[in-house]
Structure 1
């Protein structure tokens, strides 16, 4: 039985993400082991964490991606395997989870939340898979495929077209060294909030000029986003320069 606050949090999460899932299953999908362990240690409640659902969701994700690639693209077995691995990677799933605001809704133990667990790639990716399992258990495989396609379609297209980058910082450094013989540097522009709810804004600079900014709950996430924006800006500039020649 969910408390009033728990039900409210789960309902809001499902509402903003358009998720049709049994609320008990959705709640379990959002319950990290640090949360359920803390409840048990305090003698409050015995709850199952999302670990078993994450295991199921991982399998559903692989099959959903495989079916999508098989139905929608003319690719070899080897290419489908590579793209499925890229799109199903922790980096991609954690990015999607951030867009879905999973970090704001996942139930964590106090210690885990204070250590930044709400923005940890592994927790976000695992929770995404657990949420997928909730969709599968509620509505079946076809609904799961639709859910995966709605959340991952852009990444699938990018991977198929050879445009999916999983490490923006490395890609930016490779570009700037090759094109400008210079390496980017990162500077924290904003660092605010209590330890358990920090927010960072980072700028990436090239030869003293800012070329991109990014924000996130950790410096690492903010730097990756800043590098992504810098890559996009620099690539557009290079394309434009090439077209003008």
Structure 2
């Protein structure tokens, strides 16, 4: 079994070899190899198929949701963060063709590169098969995310929510204590949200901003309205 066969097994789709290689070719690799084609056109195509497929699924399965709530859920599961999490779960990063510069700076784990590659793979699935196959592929990828409340909150600005909540309840000053670990090309940040000196949530991410948002989201689970209701 070739490495690409293993990837296709993980994805659960059939993509012809040439189209698959193109879907995995990042522009940094193309630049270092004489300007060969990149996956950007497939990414453009896959982005449209992804948006349509998620919209169709949400519309059909959630007839009671408002337009605003549908839009919020769609934004969460087609976000860079969500797509990158799918790519990491499937181990897509190890198959991406990257230039040396991206390799040494941890490109195979960069959320933007992983998300773009997932969109390119969706486009490649359509090119090698048909729209229905690509739609089913998208549904198989995002269905688990739609059941994950934490992912559905990915499009929410938790830092703003926490700031407003802390002000309304007069809990004290907000501070994010952030530390980074690991080499520069694969650094992981951990943020702890303190309000009035008391820690309420911790989060991790590949950037300080991502770690802070995650810590705010976790703090919301402790401080948000739903936690007040549970204690009432």
Q: TM-score range by the shorter chain?
A: 0.7 to 0.9
Gaps of 5+ in 2: none
**Do 2:59 and 2:70's aligned partners in 1 also have CA atoms closer than 8 Å?**
no
**Residue in structure 1 matched with residue 45 of structure 2 by the alignment:** 56
Could you state the TM-score of these two structures normalised by the residue count of structure 1? Answer: 0.72
Q: Per-residue deviation at 1:60? A: 1.3
Q: How many residues align?
A: 229
Match of 2:221 among 213, 220, 232: 232
**Do 1:204 and 1:213's aligned partners in 2 also have CA atoms closer than 8 Å?**
yes
Q: Per-residue deviation at 1:51? A: 0.5
Q: Per-residue deviation at 1:34? A: 0.8
**Do 1:65 and 1:84's aligned partners in 2 also have CA atoms closer than 8 Å?**
no
**Do 1:211 and 1:230's aligned partners in 2 also have CA atoms closer than 8 Å?**
yes
Determine the C-alpha separation between the residues in 2 that align with 1:173 and 1:104: 39
**Relative to 1, partners in 2 of residues 1:244 and 1:65: Cα closer, same or farther, differing over 3 Å?**
closer
The superposition leaves residues 28-79 of structure 1 with CA deviations (integer Å, 9 ceiling, x where unpaired) of 2222101111122xxxxx6421111101111211221233234323269955
**Residue in structure 1 matched with residue 176 of structure 2 by the alignment:** 186
**Do 1:158 and 1:164's aligned partners in 2 also have CA atoms closer than 8 Å?**
no
**Relative to 1, partners in 2 of residues 1:200 and 1:60: Cα closer, same or farther, differing over 3 Å?**
same
**Residue in structure 1 matched with residue 62 of structure 2 by the alignment:** 73
**Residue in structure 1 matched with residue 212 of structure 2 by the alignment:** 223
**Residue in structure 2 matched with residue 43 of structure 1 by the alignment:** none
Gaps of 5+ in 1: 41-45
**Relative to 1, partners in 2 of residues 1:106 and 1:66: Cα closer, same or farther, differing over 3 Å?**
same
**Relative to 1, partners in 2 of residues 1:13 and 1:216: Cα closer, same or farther, differing over 3 Å?**
farther
Determine the C-alpha separation between the residues in 2 that align with 1:212 and 1:84: 23
What do you get for the CA RMSD once the two structures are aligned? 3.6
Could you state the TM-score of these two structures normalised by the residue count of structure 2? Answer: 0.75
**Relative to 1, partners in 2 of residues 1:243 and 1:71: Cα closer, same or farther, differing over 3 Å?**
closer
Determine the C-alpha separation between the residues in 1 that align with 2:211 and 2:91: 15
